[in-house]
Amino acid sequence: MRRGLTGAMSAGKDARNKPTSTPSRGLGDTIAKFTKATGIDKVAKFAAKAVGAEDCGCDGRAETLNKAFPYKNK
């Protein structure tokens, strides 16, 4: 039996279509989710290690952006 790509997606087997477990608290969380989905976060971590930094600063930047641009909770 042959299964097409649309069959697998409609069956909910595509990991990219999973809903996130926690909603974004602000702009920082949204940007962090985008960078993770596109792989930019891995590039940033690799670049930080290449220049000798222990951390790329992504978590701190996300927290600062969340405080500066929070989403209103309904």
Q: Give the per-residue pLDDT at 71.
A: 95
Which of these, 22, 24, 23, 27, lies nearest to 67 by C-alpha position?
27
| Cβ–Cβ under 8 Å, residues 56 and 48 | yes
Q: How far apart are CA 42 and CA 19, in angstroms?
A: 21
pLDDT digits over 6-21, tens only? 544 444 444 566 665 6
Interval 35-74: pLDDT, tens = 999 999 999 999 999 999 989 999 999 999 999 999 987 5
Instruction: Give Cβ neighbours of residue 14 (< 8 Å, ≥ 6 apart).
Output: 8
Residue spans per domain, the chain: 25-74
Query: Tens digits of per-residue pLDDT, 18-32?
Result: 665 689 999 999 999
Assigned token pair, 58: 């992504």
